[in-house]
Structure 1
Amino acid sequence: MVGNEKIPNKLVLSNDGNKINIITGVPYRISHSGLYVDDSCGSRPCLSPDYHPPDHFFYLRQLWVLKETSYPRGYKIAANGNYMDSLGGGHKAKCFLSPFDNPPEDSAYSQQIWSFYSETGSKSKAFQIKNEQNTRFLGVDKIFFNKKKDEQNNRSLDIPSRDSGSNIYFRNRPTDAWNFIPAFDYKLNAVVDNFEYKIPPGIKTQKIEKTIHEDILNNLSSSSKLITTFDFQEGLINTFKFSFNESLDFISETKLITVIPFKDIEKEFNFKYSFEANKSSKIMEKELCTTTKTIEVSPKSCVKVTDYCDFMVNIEIPFKATAEITAICDRYKEDGTIVKNSEVEEDAVRLFLKENNFQGKIIKFEGNSIFAKVNDTFRGSYVLKTYRKLEDIIPMVPENTVCID
């Protein structure tokens, strides 16, 4: 059903075809001179000095969404299922709201189509808004301000007066700018994989041999074969560190999937925090080296049993990897309802990365994901492998000797 479909997330095009920093399908507040556009219970949009927080009964009256139309650079603007509509009015006429979503074949379709004008290259979210049907711009009555002392910063502020005109009118010229304020929190997530390590020469010299366990089996006094079973565990600490040249401090959760160098085991690390540029995040884990093995010792002999591990110490290896970045935030359905924490589409992810000044090289787009190259250094000290060595020894019996009669 169309009503259950989510409104697509697309970067809005200005009247001259440039992409501007707002997207369709997510909630915005629209403000002018510190006043907020309110749907006024569905009759016509008005300006209100009150900012309604999410727990306020009238919160949804100040949430507006943009939808694409059959006009390449024209959009519908709606709140609570009501659409901004010129109703055929011209200069100095009031703007109204309509409960009907006029289809393209309707003669009144263009009354609900709006285009956006902004300065070329501007990063602002303030625009002049023009109606397609009457070719007039949205404007306001004269706004009065009261002075208010900002004690904390020791300055005077201009606060819109409640006596200011609340109606929104049409004007012949674009004299009024409307600010689009995001009314949503978004969360970016990243999965970093496809690690390519550049192994420096001589790095294997940083591998040491570490003794885990040692026993001496003395069967010198017996003419029978000695059969004994070892069963023990030893915990060794592995340390892994990852850092990135590109700041990922805006990422809420990061998952790293990589094959640890020389270990040939794929591991997955989950971080519930972000990565600052060139700052290492450390993971420490305890690796249990378990030994369970039966050993036979011949009569009249003595055997030394040693369990070792190869351990890499303080290695540093540059890498390149691929980060798949997705995002979630509140999205609108076609029926006007809001879906909380829903995955957003490519253009929304692109805008969020832009707003966070992401420096990684974007290499492709796939579905709702953006893929980027990231790089820096892996550091670590960790177990590579364990093994056992059996050695016949001269029969000298130390204090920890295991003797079997």
Structure 2
Amino acid sequence: MNFDVVDLIRTKRDGGKLSDAEIDWVIDAYTRGAVGDEQMAALAMAILLRGMDRAEIARWTNAMIASGERMDFGALRRPTADKHSTGGVGDKITLPLAPLVAVFEVAVPQLSGRGLGHTGGTLDKLESIPGWRAALSNEEMFRQLDEVGAVICAAGSGLAPADKKLYALRDTTGTVEAIPLIASSIMSKKIAEGTSALVLDVKVGSGAFMKSLDQASELARTMVDLGTDAGVKTVALLTNMDTPLGLTAGNALEVRESVEVLAGGGPADVVELTCTLAREMLAAVGKTDVDVEAALADGRAMDVWRRMIAAQDGDPDAPLPVAKHQHTVTAERSGHLERLDAYAVGVSAWRLGAGRARKEDPVQAVAGIELHAKPGDEVRAGQPLMTLHTDTEERFERALEALEGAVGYAEAAPEVPGIVLGRID
């Protein structure tokens, strides 16, 4: 059945509801090129302004899934569980989390992406490991899940191609913030991926996509409903992203910190969130009596990490690259750190070369920021607060500009909020 796309735009513009047949048609027609970018942009803006109900979002998501292939992990000898983060600064959790969960005979098919703007990409981080490759065939991925239990790799172009096209359009038309479109974008790929359980890490705060708890809760609720309706056991955690996660933001720097966590050390917030998400993923497939902290402490998770990296041609023993230039930022006064703005740190790391403005831009494996203090810590005037890393010395000026006003001080020790702010199932 053919429809007039202008009628659909008017319907949504005026607050009406799109029918199942209209949604199926417009997604298919846009994927094929029969509906133009300018028309889909108008519809996306109408959705941003008018919203969609649960049935519309579910149908929109299903239509995007139907635009491509679906994966099936039913032949694996173990259950599958996956995690998706909405993105933040210093969010390297996937790296220690995937091998940790795999210790307990759960397969983790972590199809990941690249960074854009101030948020880092998991594939960019792992590509700082000499030899490691992101692109795997489906056969390679299945074999690695069967033999190692965990894989972190690039999603194939066959998964939800409609989303790839619509995502690029939203990025250039001011419609990225539409919750129905965010939720359907994330969940179309995750449902098509074929995992049986999914834990969502929805970031909240200055360094996150969602700045307020209300916004983040609405997005989390929408995604949990979509997963549940599709038969995927889905739960969401709302987690704090006002302050960078851990003590590093940047590709090789974050790999180094992740290896520290797998070795039984690392920053307390990274360890806490890794273990919390691991317990949620394992519980979603019926494994509740597990000691994830012990698997980090005794080296079992590290063993899986080493096998996972080696299976993708990486050398887990190779030294990580180091930046040619460093610059230290010091505390302006004595007292307690009250605030360290995650967004400012993310933009600064991006300007140092850790991120990209456009998808085709290269990134520096070595660029980023190393933190020496976090909110709640007592500092003295002149004490190092952070070290900036880059191979391009002239990048320091603009990176330092991004950090202006990013640090707040207080006389007394501030109350530091916990990492997990809420849970939605």
Give the structure with the higher percent helix: 2
The TM-score normalised by the length of structure 1 is 0.18
**Which protein has the larger Cα radius of gyration, Structure 1 or Structure 2?**
1
The TM-score normalised by the length of structure 2 is 0.17
